[in-house]
Amino acid sequence: MRKATVERKTKETQIVATVNLDGTGKYDISTGIGFLDHMLEQLAKHSLMDIELKAKGDLHIDFHHTTEDSGITIGQAITEALGDRKGITRYANAYIPMDETLSRVSLDISGRPYLIWKVDFTRDKLGDMDTELFREWFGGFAQAAGITLHVENLYGTNSHHIVESCYKGLARALKTALAIDPRAADVVPSTKGSLKDK
């Protein structure tokens, strides 16, 4: 079973994350940030990854460290669970509509972290959360997971719909890219023979 637990402890956050790449979309998430919890629940549900995450952070300062570090920790757990990345489909994309909004997520589980973020919001906050922090989550996640990740909101006006479509797009793309290709289950999908090196 492709499963891993990662613990991250800094002066700013203490986070434990467990992922099961071959799960059923179960989740148990608590970051202290309600809207972020909602997005991470979407990530688990629509990727069929099981995700457990418990975070304590310096929320008395702001939500930045907890948001970014939760992305990093989930990304690290996925990297560990993947091992040598043998057999994975590797590439995927997803278009996610949500009412008036349409977003596209394309990714490559390449070992080469990179984020393209073309997402603008119509509001500065969703609940108590600054919308600019979502880029920090996706950036931390891509870096730690070793994923080339392109996220683009094609159109939309409701900021809640925009960000939720991005998380659901990531989830659906991960579901496909993390799946084992039965025709090449024992092969690393790269002519280099490795997806661990940049």
Q: Which of 176, 151, 145 is nearest to 164 (CA)?
A: 151
SS3 49: coil
Task: Indicate whether 191 pLDDT > 70.
Answer: no
Tokens of residue 63, six digits? 């939500």
pLDDT tens digits for range 39-62: 999 999 999 999 999 999 999 999
pTM above 0.85, yes or no: yes
Query: What is residue 64's DSSP assignment?
Result: H
Structure confidence at residue 182 (pLDDT): 86
Rounded Cα distance between 109 and 92, Å, is 9
Residues 31 and 57: beta-carbon distance below 8 Å: yes
Report the pLDDT averaged over residues 62-82.
97
Cβ-based neighbours of 3, under 8 Å, separated by 6 or more:
18, 19, 20, 21, 22, 81
Task: Indicate whether 21 pLDDT > 80.
Answer: yes
Task: Indicate whether 133 pLDDT > 60.
Answer: yes
Choose which CATH entry (3.20.20.70, 3.60.21.10, 3.30.230.40, 1.10.3720.10) describes domain 3-184: 3.30.230.40
The ranges assigned to domains in the chain are 3-184
pLDDT tens digits for range 92-122: 999 999 999 999 999 999 999 999 999 999 9
